[in-house]
Chain A
Amino acid sequence: MAFSAFATGTAREQVPRRKSRVALLLLLPGILYLVLFFLVPLVSLVITSLQAPSAFGDVGSYQTAFNWNNYVVSITQYGDQIVRSFFYAVLATVFALLFSYPLAYFIGVTARPWPLLQNLMLVLVIAPFFISFLLRTLAWKSLLSDESGFVTGLKALSLLAPDAHITGTPVAVVFGLTYNFIPFMTLPLYAALERLDTQYLEAGSDLYARPSTVFRKVTIPLSMPGIVSGVLLTFIPAAGDYVNASREFLGGTGTAMMGNVIESNFLILLNYPAAASLSIILMVVILAIVTAYVRRSGTEDLL
């Protein structure tokens, strides 16, 4: 599975073969925690996803069954939303990377001579965390609403058609996702770039590489661990996000992502098998994408 991608296949370290009771005892809390809060819910989710409507027919009552068909129904019925979720998540990740890289580079490399500026900018990146994620998204909803200065301004400049709007469109949702996950991209990038040894860059230009080549051949490979963890930290939650795309926040009827479909099935339709099967599909697809990504980016030993 994906986890094997993180492990080094070669040169396995010598593990002491002696069985230690102490080690086992120390591991116990962790194992118990994983069993209780990961394994049990996961198995319960799988069982729920296979349930069939109960014969008594009350809304929201189901009985244990082996109803694989739930998955087929979920995929055919919500194929659009599944594809859309990953499309939005990829867009948000790419935008967040494009925005965060120069920012992290500036904080981590350019601003090195001025530690005060470095710290100030880091605080600015982290500061939004002091306010609830929901509140910030609601604030954007009102900032982007039809009669807001921003939208009327765009219309006055003819950058936006007179009857166009922003909230409730894919643009608003991708914007919201990008905005909300930027700190998750910036911080790992900063951590990687902050350690960047500028002597390598000098060596690169001494060897007649153009700045763009130095960036491509030296800076990027050296910051790869930051890029990989930033991408993972952004992509995984963005794909499952249900706040930004929700109709109560920045989304509309045409922007529902998987999280919204699961929410609707779980809370409104009380169709727990559908909600559970969709959750598992989401998990499996993310796992597959992440495994492929980590393998391809060739950073197994950097992580």
Chain B
Amino acid sequence: MARPIPTDPMIQRLIQNARAAQFSRRSVLQGVGIGAAALTLAACSPGGPAGKPTAAPDKSATDKTLRWDNWAAYLDEDDSGKRHPTLDAFQKQTGITVKYDVAVDDNNTYYGKVKDQLALGQDIGADVVCLTDWMVSRMINLGYVQQFDLSKIPNAKNLTPDLKNVDFDPGRKKSLPWQGGFAGICWNKEKVPGGLKSVNDLWDKSLKGRVGVLSEMRDTIGLIMLQQGVDISTKWGDSQFNAAIDEFKKQVNDGQIRNIKGNAYLEDLKSEDTLAAICWSGDITVINAEAGDKWEFAIPTAGGTLWNDNFLIPIGSQKKSAAEELINYYYQPEVAAEVAAWVNYITPVVGAKEAMQNIDPALAENQLIFPNEETLSKARVFRTLSSAEESKYNAAFQAVLLGS
């Protein structure tokens, strides 16, 4: 672990002097460079804990554009795969030009790319982003999210009551769910005709080297913990987590698990590098439509994880009201049903099930879009982690991904 620097001010000054002396001895740095370098560094080196950033002014009235960052296969597409019908309708209706960007492959990598701008309250190149609960929780805590003007999102009343008061955002003032879903298991029906029932079936010798898992720690480790009989939504500790990591590591080292990816796991399923995987519920319907009806999804017998991705407006966005307009639009039951019919994830909008009857009655009964109590009872939400736990568990998970 890191050795703490002595707090005594005299010693700290000594250390500073020692460092300055060291630099001045380096003949390389003599001359023009050092002054400029030191000045620039003083300007960029992160100082102490800065205050929370403030929201950027809203310019939606004058600039009719909006940028939306989202995950792959997460918005309805037409047959050509180039246009998004619901988004086109929104643009026509409001005159706002939306730049839709599939920029999120993984919560961590997305956050890693934008966190410095967020901390300074700067624009991150997106006015509305959909991220997963735990990441939204972190960003709200750090003050990186703008507060909604809920009077401009009247349709927010359609939010399903279960999701109205989450612990990270009571009253949903800063985030509203976009879609939810399950993490479970899927398999190639042609190559694995028997199908799979539990996470342990993924470790079957016949699938050696052909199994993919998600780089989202909560889903992969969550499913393994559930298989080991741990209820991931209640208070569990290091020993339960480590038991799951050990199992995971063993399967990686044995070569049972071929690869660990974000959304790109779909490519491996399509190229048949992997024949079975830990995956997200809606994706399987989408690739079945894209690449032939070859895959099947199931929630493992021991349970699956349940998560939600949420709309949020980054602190540096200057398009708050346009973003609110977009969110309001997608909270109409008819629009939500149209999106859900394509993405096949759980829609948080009440009334969408009724609207779905008009689109495709069969989908209204689809348990992956409109789960009933029985299906929901099989799924668990990964409990909130403290920031110390977050660092520790993530490091352990990443260590396995890097093969160390």
Residues of A whose CB lies within 8 Å of any CB of B are 31-32, 34-36, 39-40, 43-44, 47, 52-54, 56-67, 69-70, 77-78, 80-81, 141-142, 145-148, 163-165, 167-168, 247-248, 252-256, 260-261, 264-271
Chain A residues whose CB sits within 8 angstroms of the CB of B151 once the complex forms: none
Contact B208–A163 (Cβ < 8 Å): yes
Question: What CA separation (Å) do A271 and B1 show in the bound complex?
Answer: 13
Contact B2–A39 (Cβ < 8 Å): no
Which of B2, B46, B106 gathers the greatest number of chain A CB atoms within 10 Å? B2
Contact B259–A252 (Cβ < 8 Å): yes
Which 9 pairs, one residue from A and one from B, show the smallest C-beta to C-beta distance?
A: A267-B112, A145-B271, A52-B2, A147-B272, A268-B108, A256-B402, A254-B403, A35-B33, A65-B5
Question: What CA separation (Å) do A39 and B117 show in the bound complex?
Answer: 24
Question: What CA separation (Å) do A47 and B37 show in the bound complex?
Answer: 12
Shortest Cβ gap from B152 to chain A (Å): 31
Shortest Cβ gap from B35 to chain A (Å): 9
Identify B259's interface contact among A147, A163, A247, A260, CB under 8 A. A247
Question: What CA separation (Å) do A77 and B395 show in the bound complex?
Answer: 11
Question: What CA separation (Å) do A196 and B45 show in the bound complex?
Answer: 52
Chain A residues whose CB sits within 8 angstroms of the CB of B40 once the complex forms: 36, 40
Chain A residues whose CB sits within 8 angstroms of the CB of B138 once the complex forms: 59
Question: What CA separation (Å) do A67 and B5 show in the bound complex?
Answer: 8
Shortest Cβ gap from B207 to chain A (Å): 10
Contact A267–B109 (Cβ < 8 Å): yes
> Which residue of chain B has its CB nearest to the CB of A265?
B398
Chain B residues whose CB sits within 8 angstroms of the CB of A52 once the complex forms: 2-5
Question: What CA separation (Å) do A148 and B273 show in the bound complex?
Answer: 9
Identify A60's interface contact among B29, B106, B115, B272, CB under 8 A. B115
Shortest Cβ gap from A190 to chain B (Å): 35
Contact B394–A253 (Cβ < 8 Å): no
Contact A270–B15 (Cβ < 8 Å): no
Question: What CA separation (Å) do A177 and B388 show in the bound complex?
Answer: 38
Q: Is B257 an interface residue (CB 8 A)?
A: yes
In the complex, which residues 224-276 of chain B have their Cβ closer than 8 Å to any Cβ of chain A? 252-253, 257-261, 264, 271-273
What are 22 A-B pairs at a CB distance below 8 A?
Answer: A35-B36, A39-B29, A39-B33, A43-B41, A59-B138, A62-B46, A65-B4, A77-B404, A145-B271, A148-B271, A163-B208, A168-B273, A247-B401, A253-B400, A256-B403, A260-B402, A264-B398, A264-B401, A267-B109, A267-B113, A269-B395, A270-B111
